[in-house]
Amino acid sequence: MLPDTIQKFIQIFSRLPSIGPRQATRLAFRLIGWGPARIAELGRVMSGLANVKICKQCFFVHTNENTICPICADTHRAQDIFMIVEKETDLISIERTGKYAGKYLILGELTKSGALDENHARRIEVFKNILTSLPDKKAREIIIGLNPSTYGDLYTYTLTKELTPYTKKITRLGRGIPTGGEIEFADEDTLGHSLERRV
């Protein structure tokens, strides 16, 4: 019934997070309605993402010449203080507070299971290598900045156990953020307080 090009589109776009076959179908028809010029523009914008690199240290995105992002390359930031966040948008929210001047580790998407997957484990290994390469062989402080939810707490527990040998101090963001909420949605003031009152 549908041309192959549309079926292929639906098949591939259905695999994207929170887009099912039904939304992908609607997307296809909406795009076709937009006409070839705008479809071409979307295609170009999408291909542009292929040039984005992932930082070898903190795993944030960047388009620098070298392998690390501007945050990791910034010598004015504390080199021995680290915040572990789940995702890129959490890092952006923390940066917007203007109250944090250390480095980051983006752990990658967490699951409700609370168990570290292969990707998390790989990033934690990279992180441990960074910590043991510090002048003191340890971090001055690691702030665990995961969502204050049941599974966030599980991950926080696991990470604390895992990283205690690698740091002088481990803290968590203060519970200014309402329990069950998400970092990405917190306003800058609340996030700022949770940084100041970390426990």
Interacting residues toward a second copy by CB under 8 A: 1-6, 8-9, 12-13, 16-18, 22-23, 25-33, 36, 39-52, 54, 61-63, 87-89, 92, 95-96, 184
Residue closer to a second copy by CB (options 48, 180) is 48
To a second copy, the closest distance from the beta carbon of 138 in angstroms equals 29
To a second copy, the closest distance from the beta carbon of 108 in angstroms equals 8
To a second copy, the closest distance from the beta carbon of 86 in angstroms equals 11
The DSSP code sequence of the chain is: ---HHHHHHHHHHTTSTT--HHHHHHHHHHHHHH-HHHHHHHHHHHHHGGG-EE-TTT--EE--SSSS-HHHH-TTS-SSEEEEESSHHHHHHHHHHT---SEEEE-----TT----HHHHHHHHHHHHHHHTSTTSSBSEEEEE--SSHHHHHHHHHHHHHHGGGBS-EEE--TTSPTT--GGGS-HHHHHHHHHT--
Residue closer to a second copy by CB (options 92, 101) is 92
To a second copy, the closest distance from the beta carbon of 121 in angstroms equals 16
To a second copy, the closest distance from the beta carbon of 97 in angstroms equals 12
Residue closer to a second copy by CB (options 54, 78) is 54
Residue closer to a second copy by CB (options 28, 131) is 28
Residue closer to a second copy by CB (options 52, 199) is 52
